[in-house]
Amino acid sequence: MALAISVVAALNIAGSIGTGYLSDRLDRSKLLAAIYAIRGFTFILLLMARTPFLLLLFAVVYGATEMASAYQLFVCALFPGKCGHHFLPLLQ
């Protein structure tokens, strides 16, 4: 259990950096939708996790996507012209 929490924390950093890189190269709204879809899949995976391997798989995927969407919303709050009008309701 402690290893899974550590993996989530470590991959939060990697996920935030990776999302920043991808958001410069891909459509941000589609990237955000993909992040939420993957994160939703991880909760299904957590419900099925009966072995330590599945718990670690959940930790890896969830850790990479947990802070990724928060990073995008933070960037959109700082630079609203870069994100377009579709993020503005989320920031109010």
Domain chopping of the chain, boundaries? 2-91
Cα–chain center distance at 28: 13
Burial 56-68 (b: 16+ CB within 10 A, else e): ebbbbbbbbbbbb
- φ, ψ of residue 79 to 5 degrees: the values are -130, 75
Is pTM beyond 0.85 here? no
Q: What is the pLDDT along the chain (92 residues), one digit of tens a residue?
A: 788 888 888 888 888 888 878 888 888 778 888 888 998 999 998 899 899 999 999 999 998 888 776 666 666 667 666 665 555 555 44
Distance CA 42, CA 44 (A): 5
